[in-house]
Homo-oligomer: A and B are copies of this chain.
Amino acid sequence: MKKSKQATIVDVASEAGVSIATVSNVINRRKVPMSPETVRKVEEAIARLGYRRNVMATNLSRRRSNELGLVLPHFGGYYGRFAEKLERKFHRYGYHLSVFSAADMDPEVEMRHIEHLLQRRVDGLVSHGLAISMHSTQQLVGEGTPLVIFNGWGWPSDITKLAVNLDFAKASSEAVRYFLAHGCRAVFYAGRRKGMGANDQRIEGFLAGLDGETRADVHALLDAGDLGVAGVLEEALRLSGDIRPIGIYTFNDSLALELIAECHERGIRVPDEVQLIGMDNEHFAKASYPSITSFEMPVDLQASLVTGFLMRQMGEELDEMSAELLDSYLNQMQGHELLIDMEMVVRNSTQNG
């Protein structure tokens, strides 16, 4: 009650008429034997004073924070869902997760967040592999803090022990083959430079998918950042001459939706003339007109693997299921990059059946 500030453990101790050690024992539910009477007195004092433990003091003293940090490109869609999953999973192990957005890949903001997390002495870090350079990350994180990357490619193993990646390349190949198998002799990839590594993976997969038995007469890589959405469509149509239908595989559902809008505008029929496949399986992909064929993001699985690996690296005991799951993936891993398959969800923006 002194100074009308927050009560401390000392206040509680004197209020309950015990020592601070006892209060600490009660708070942390230690195994040391205490009389129920004592426990009750302490708990009452805590309630009466509205005592709330100061985690800064706790962590300082314990020399560990039980806090983890997650850095996202932004909060929207898949990333937000991933964050929520991850938070819940870490919580089961007694860790608290703080989530930060790099505000759509602003390197300065991203840097600030990572620096702050490190200053807060988080026990571990999870980050997308995007905005800031690997060098900066190296500098920042150094040897100290365990770092797991998700959706990042080509990270040296001295900075991260593991990257948990969605297999965009494979999905992209699948998309191309789907187009080829469904009458498209002209196929395009509509990308986003800004997607960086994730964009490169899609390109790689796209090109690989072209090498099947059925071949495309026309194909090209287009970028929505350079050409704009309308520009992408125009260029695709121009390159295709009178080949129909054409297939456009897009960086994400959002871009696919915009292309559909562009088609409506010009009276181009989807999927008769233009077929589209997106990525992310966003909510609107199902409800758009026509609905968008896309790839479902295995958010939960990805979060489980990230959690499992980081927890194990930090010396936590995994439950049997988690351990088994993690190991099965680690076994078939190449380098220190682990790949997760994605499933295509066929809808009406492609010819189906």
Instruction: Identify the closest chain B residue to A91 (Cβ).
Output: B112
Chain A interface residue number, banded: 35 or more
Q: A84-B75, A254-B284 given as contacts; is B54 within 8 A of A60 (CB)? A: yes
- Neighbouring B residues of A53 by C-beta, 8 Å: 119
Of A28-36, A93-101, A153-161, A326-334, the segment with at least 4 beta carbons within 8 Å of chain B is A93-101
CB < 8 Å: which of B91, B118, B264, B289 contacts A261? B289
What number of copies of this chain does the assembly contain? 2
Name the contact of A99 in the complex, choosing from B100, B109, B283 (C-beta under 8 A): B100
A60 to B53, CA, bound (A): 13
- Consensus secondary structure, chain A interface: helix
- Contact assessment for B52 and A119 in the assembled complex, using a CB-CB cutoff below 8 Å: yes
User: Nearest Cβ in chain B — how far from A183, in angstroms?
Assistant: 23
Identity of the chain B residue whose Cβ is nearest the Cβ of A142 in the assembled complex: B50
Are B76 and A6 in touch, CB under 8 angstroms?
A: no
Please name all residues of chain B whose beta carbon is closer than 8 Å to the beta carbon of A286 when the two chains form the complex.
Answer: 261
Given A254-B283, A261-B288, A57-B54 contact (CB < 8 Å): no
Candidates B54, B60, B96, B103; contact of A88 at CB < 8 Å? B103
- Give bound CA distance, A96 to B258, whole Å: 36
**CB atoms of A101 and B80 under 8 A apart:** yes
Task: Render A101-116 as a binary contact track against B, CB cut-off 8 A, 1 for contact.
Answer: 1011000010010011
- For the complex, is A87 an interface residue (Cβ under 8 Å from B)? yes
Contact with B along A67-83 (1 / 0, CB 8 A): 00000001111011101
Per CB-CB distance, the 7 closest pairs between chain A and chain B, nearest first, are A75-B80, A75-B75, A261-B287, A56-B56, A284-B284, A55-B119, A257-B287
Please name 13 pairs of A and B residues whose Cβ atoms are closer than 8 Å in the assembled complex, sorted by A. A6-B121, A52-B119, A54-B60, A54-B121, A55-B119, A80-B101, A87-B101, A87-B109, A91-B112, A98-B98, A258-B287, A261-B291, A284-B284
